[in-house]
Structure 1
Amino acid sequence: MSEQTPGVAEQLEPLVARILAPNPSPFTNTGTQTHLVGTADLAVIDPGPDDLSHVEAMLRAIGGRPVTAIVITHTHRDHSPAARALKAATGAPIIGCAPLALEDLGPRADASFDADYTPDRVLADGESISGEDWTLTAVATPGHTSNHLCFALPEAKALFSGDHVMGWSTTIVSPPDGDMAAYMASLDKLMQRDDRIYYPAHGEPVENPRRLVRGMIGHRKQREGQIMRLLRDAPRSIPTLVAAMYVGIDPRLFPAAERSVLAHLIDLRDRGMVVDRGDDWRAL
């Protein structure tokens, strides 16, 4: 794909277009991808942050066509806040994940939860909405957040994977809401599907999704193995683990790495493999 310009709609295939929001960061890559689904009438997936220029760009791309639904994968603030302005402009209902408002303990100011998110309809796993030439079916994929949904577009054998699977990076799993066991189970769930392509909310489309998901499962198991080897050697704190495991990464990503290691440790503790003693963690 060619380098994107924020605010400029790009047609990816007959039923799918995307618009890049102007919110690049070490955690969002080039920014949040908003996807438009359909031709005669539209669904807008993850309208993005509360940014007037992005709302205006979406309305230009919509071009007066009816919007059947504003669809939300999860309620981090780089995904859902623009839904309110888009609903006001189009009259479309907000449909998708359940509301979730927690104090974010993680490293990302842009990833704190959208406390003002108020959906008109919450979709359960397997429930669908449809337009003239499209269907979107919710695929519950908790892990990155407990309310995360992907959306399958069977007419194109495509999956809008939100932040659960991204081509440019593994996702952050940040407790208390982020859950490593749930995340791994959700990856296994996607491995059972036969989607042709993923359209993530950050980064480029994923054209061999099962291979990527298999690699992501392997990566997380490798991280788990690293943690266990280090803890068998000696009790360690989370910052000490991160320093040993993430050599050479951007220092701005260290807080995110600490959250990911904590998620692994909680999962290992729940499985009876490690125990925490104050700031230190020990292998059992």
Structure 2
Amino acid sequence: MDAPYGQLIEAEPGVARLLAPNPTPYTFTGTQVHLVGRDELAVIDPGPADAAHIDALVRAIGGRPVAAILVTHTHKDHSPGARPLSATTGAPVVGCAPLVIEGGTEAGFDHLYAPDRVLADGESVVVDSRTLTAVHTPGHTSNHLCFADEAAGILFSGDHVMGWSTSVVIPPDGDMGDYVRSLEKLRGRTQDRIYYPAHGEPVAEPQRLVRGMIGHRLQRERQILRRVEAGDRTVERIVAAAYPGLDPRLVPAAGASVLAHLLELAKRGLVSHADEQWSATA
């Protein structure tokens, strides 16, 4: 995908996107900021608090009133831009709850995030005669929301379903069981004709993709259980066996995913661990 940073691209009537200049191995070409509405706007996931990016976003808004700045979750590539954008436009910050991690903080989260309104599952905001409804989808993070424009058949899927890769699930806040259950929840939403994710291209066949993602996670779970049964006792050994040839930059993400699967298997009594050594219980 080309990366025209700072350029507003119309995806369909009433939906446009602007790409933030924050590419990494975890964000693909960067964070896709979505502008919803015509005469009045909602801005979904304003991205990083980068001055040039915020300036480009303000130019794209073009003086139109911003009714709400919606945030799917509080990773640093999604929510920090809400503060300067709110200060510039006067718009309230609405969406996911602030994240409180028991036992400490994590560097990847925006700990300054302070919404004016938290949306629970099923609650909505109305912008430019469009109703955007929060869909709670924990797993990638415990506070993750998607936003549905149900009349238009649109789901703004944040990081829960992306257009280029599966989401990383990083314990302790990320939870693999919750992630798969949230995928099942989206699979039941047959009214959604298209997803607009925060990373990658729009997803034109969302139900097909979600089914494949569920199958991939279940297959990976079985693979990890087999590796433990075969004698791979540590996350590092499982990663080496399960992800041959992996880009070294992505090894930490793979390790987090493996750990998330192991913790879910442990909840179901299929594995146990002591001193960072894992073993099968059956």
Place the TM-score, normalised by the shorter chain, in its bin.
over 0.9
* 1:190-209 equivalent positions in 2, closer than 5 A: 190-194=186-190, 195-209=192-206
Would you say the 8 A contact 1:128–1:135 is kept in 2?
Answer: yes
In structure 1, the residue matched to 2:124 is 128
In structure 2, the residue matched to 1:170 is 166
Structure 1 position 278, deviation (Å): 1.4
Cα separation, 1, equivalents of 2:65 and 2:273: 54
Structure 1 position 58, deviation (Å): 0.9
Q: How many residues align?
A: 278
- Residue 229 of structure 2 aligns with an amino acid whose one-letter code is R
Following TM superposition, where does structure 1 have runs of at least 4 consecutive aligned residues deviating by more than 6 angstroms? none
Cα separation, 1, equivalents of 2:105 and 2:166: 19
Structure 1 position 49, deviation (Å): 0.5
In structure 2, the residue matched to 1:44 is 43
* 1:85-100 equivalent positions in 2, closer than 5 A: 85-100=84-99
Matched, 1:272 2:269: yes
Matched, 1:55 2:54: yes
Would you say the 8 A contact 1:39–1:133 is kept in 2?
Answer: no
The equivalent position to 1:239 in structure 2, one of 222, 227, 236, is 236
Matched, 1:144 2:149: no
> Unpaired runs of 5+ in structure 1?
none
Would you say the 8 A contact 2:156–2:197 is kept in 1?
Answer: yes
Q: TM-score, normalised by structure 2?
A: 0.96
Matched, 1:261 2:258: yes
Q: TM-score, normalised by structure 1?
A: 0.96
Matched, 1:16 2:23: no
- Residue 25 of structure 2 aligns with an amino acid whose one-letter code is P
Matched, 1:117 2:113: yes
| 1:25-51: CA deviation from partner (whole Å, max 9, x where unpaired) | 000000000000000100000000010
Quick one: structure 1 residues 114 and 101, their matched pair in 2 at CA, closer, same or farther if it must change by over 3 Å? farther
Would you say the 8 A contact 2:6–2:19 is kept in 1?
Answer: yes
Q: CA RMSD in A?
A: 1.1
In structure 2, the residue matched to 1:226 is 223
| 1:35-87: CA deviation from partner (whole Å, max 9, x where unpaired) | 00000100000000010111111111110010000000000110000101100
Would you say the 8 A contact 1:18–1:33 is kept in 2?
Answer: yes
* 1:18-37 equivalent positions in 2, closer than 5 A: 18-37=17-36
Cα separation, 2, equivalents of 1:24 and 1:271: 37
Cα separation, 2, equivalents of 1:21 and 1:104: 25
Structure 1 position 3, deviation (Å): 1.8
In structure 1, the residue matched to 2:2 is 3
| 1:215-237: CA deviation from partner (whole Å, max 9, x where unpaired) | 10011111111111111111411
Cα separation, 2, equivalents of 1:114 and 1:64: 27
Matched, 1:77 2:73: no
Cα separation, 2, equivalents of 1:15 and 1:27: 28
Would you say the 8 A contact 2:232–2:238 is kept in 1?
Answer: no
- Residue 180 of structure 2 aligns with an amino acid whose one-letter code is M
> Unpaired runs of 5+ in structure 2?
none
SS state of the match for residue 95, structure 1?
strand
- Residue 255 of structure 2 aligns with an amino acid whose one-letter code is E
SS state of the match for residue 74, structure 1?
coil
Cα separation, 2, equivalents of 1:19 and 1:270: 41
